[in-house]
């Protein structure tokens, strides 16, 4: 099978090529490792120069893209499409990529697969008139919709019954347990601190305000407690406190150290339409590092942590969050990493699904 994978280069504040990050990098790479041929065409919103990168004998084409003037991108992308002559088109990343992928597949009379790792209708680009209509059109017309979470698959089935769940996986050669003391030495964190960590975008639906309030409560029991944070700051919030260690945006290798330096890691999300349908990448990352986790009761996260029900707290409730974190600091309950969340296993699952529709 020969495929063309259409997506964006930058997502979740990472560069899928430079950082070798996430499903937009690993799923097409795993298809190649499963014996298929293809290429990735990645729309670059940030740079004005096209690039071709060869990674593991696999080609990534990065092409500049401007939403209000997409014609140069469309021309170059279509030329690559004609050269590739794929058996299948896979699109991911946003509503307009779904629409472009659908059009290409219709032109070539080949199957179209729409990878939906989030509720794209909630993305900022969908404020452009007509964009949401393109999203739902691509959902309805796809030969297969790939969803990143079970709740999202339930939503998608209202529009298309041909659905498979391929979760956000993790590179277990990178995300793995590291001795806590060694991690703290490398990060310059004193060993006598109680560390609670969150690593990801700090946005309005991430519940960081609740986490800070919970931290204030916990410091009555553990005066040495510190919050360890990293990620892009997307809201106005005061992190200038002596017991909050904010590291900004860091590389993936440092995220591994940060996770392993913690006594407890947390997913403090608040419920909204995007969160309820998503599957946070950090779930697999936390579990692969073998760390005790606390999560709020959003999406299907309580089901994921069913073997540790005391690790689930109510969203937006700092008292309940503090109580749950305290229990995990003391119990250190670790949920076993599901082996099906490696990119290798997810790639095999996707490969088998695609072969059924070509």
Query: What φ, ψ does residue 112 adopt, rounded to 5°?
Result: -120, 130
In a domain, 294, yes or no: yes
- Domain co-membership, 50 together with 149: yes
- Domain co-membership, 27 together with 106: yes
Which segments in the chain show pLDDT lower than 50? none
- Domain co-membership, 82 together with 120: yes
| Full residue range of the structural domain in which residue 150 is found | 2-169+342-355
Specify the pLDDT at position 182: 97
- Domain co-membership, 36 together with 163: yes
- Domain co-membership, 193 together with 324: yes
- Domain co-membership, 41 together with 105: yes
- Domain co-membership, 130 together with 228: no
Exposed/middle/buried for residue 247 (C-beta within 10 Å: 0-12, 13-18, 19+): middle
Specify the pLDDT at position 128: 87
In terms of DSSP bridges, do strands 264-267 and 244-246 run parallel, antiparallel, or are they unpaired? unpaired
- Domain co-membership, 311 together with 193: yes
Quick: pLDDT tens for 83-133. Answer: 999 999 999 999 999 999 999 999 999 999 999 999 999 898 888 889 999
- Domain co-membership, 204 together with 305: yes
In sequence order, the 6+-apart residues with CB closer than 8 A to the CB of 234 are 201, 202, 203, 204
For residue 58, the domain's CATH number is 3.40.50.2000
* Best CA proximity match to 21, nearest among 129, 189, 170: 170
- Domain co-membership, 43 together with 159: yes
In a domain, 158, yes or no: yes
- Domain co-membership, 159 together with 245: no
In a domain, 35, yes or no: yes
For the chain, how many structural domains are there in total?
Answer: 2
Distances (CA, A) of 334 to 79, 82, 181, 212, 232: 50, 50, 18, 23, 27
Specify the pLDDT at position 127: 85
Quick: pLDDT tens for 49-89. Answer: 999 988 877 899 999 998 778 899 999 999 999 999 999 99
In a domain, 175, yes or no: no
- Domain co-membership, 263 together with 350: no
In a domain, 174, yes or no: no
């Amino acid at each position: 099978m020969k495929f063309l994978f259409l997506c964006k280069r930058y997502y979740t504040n990472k560069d899928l090529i430079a950082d070798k990050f996430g499903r937009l990098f690993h799923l097409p790479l795993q298809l190649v490792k499963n014996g298929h041929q293809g290429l990735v065409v990645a729309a670059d919103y940030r740079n004005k120069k096209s690039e071709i990168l060869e990674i593991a004998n696999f080609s990534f084409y990065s092409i500049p893209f401007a939403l209000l003037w997409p014609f140069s991108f469309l021309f170059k992308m279509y030329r690559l499409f004609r050269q590739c002559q794929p058996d299948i088109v896979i699109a991911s990343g946003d509503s307009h990529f779904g629409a472009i992928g659908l059009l290409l597949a219709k032109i070539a009379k080949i199957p179209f697969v729409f990878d939906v790792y989030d509720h794209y209708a909630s993305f900022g680009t969908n404020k452009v008139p007509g964009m949401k209509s393109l999203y739902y059109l691509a959902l309805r017309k796809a030969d297969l919709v790939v969803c990143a979470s079970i709740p999202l698959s339930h939503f998608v089935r209202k529009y298309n019954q041909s659905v498979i769940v391929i979760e956000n996986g993790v590179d277990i050669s990178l995300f793995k347990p590291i001795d806590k003391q060694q991690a703290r030495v490398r990060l310059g964190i004193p060993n006598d601190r109680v560390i609670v960590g969150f690593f990801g975008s700090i946005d309005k639906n991430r519940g960081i305000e609740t986490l800070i309030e919970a931290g204030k409560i916990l410091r009555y029991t553990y005066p040495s407690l510190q919050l360890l944070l990293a990620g892009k700051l997307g809201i106005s919030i005061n992190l200038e406190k002596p017991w909050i260690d904010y590291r900004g945006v860091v590389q993936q290798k440092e995220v591994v150290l940060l996770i392993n330096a913690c006594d407890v890691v947390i997913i403090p999300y608040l419920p909204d339409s995007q969160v309820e349908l998503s599957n946070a990448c950090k779930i697999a990352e936390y579990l692969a590092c073998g760390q005790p986790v606390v999560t709020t009761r959003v999406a299907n996260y309580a089901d994921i942590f069913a073997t540790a029900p005391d690790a689930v707290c109510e969203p937006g409730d700092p008292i309940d969050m503090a109580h749950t974190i305290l229990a995990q600091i003391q119990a250190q309950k670790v949920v076993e990493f599901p082996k099906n969340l490696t990119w290798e296993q997810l790639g095999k699952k996707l490969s088998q699904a695609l072969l059924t529709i070509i």
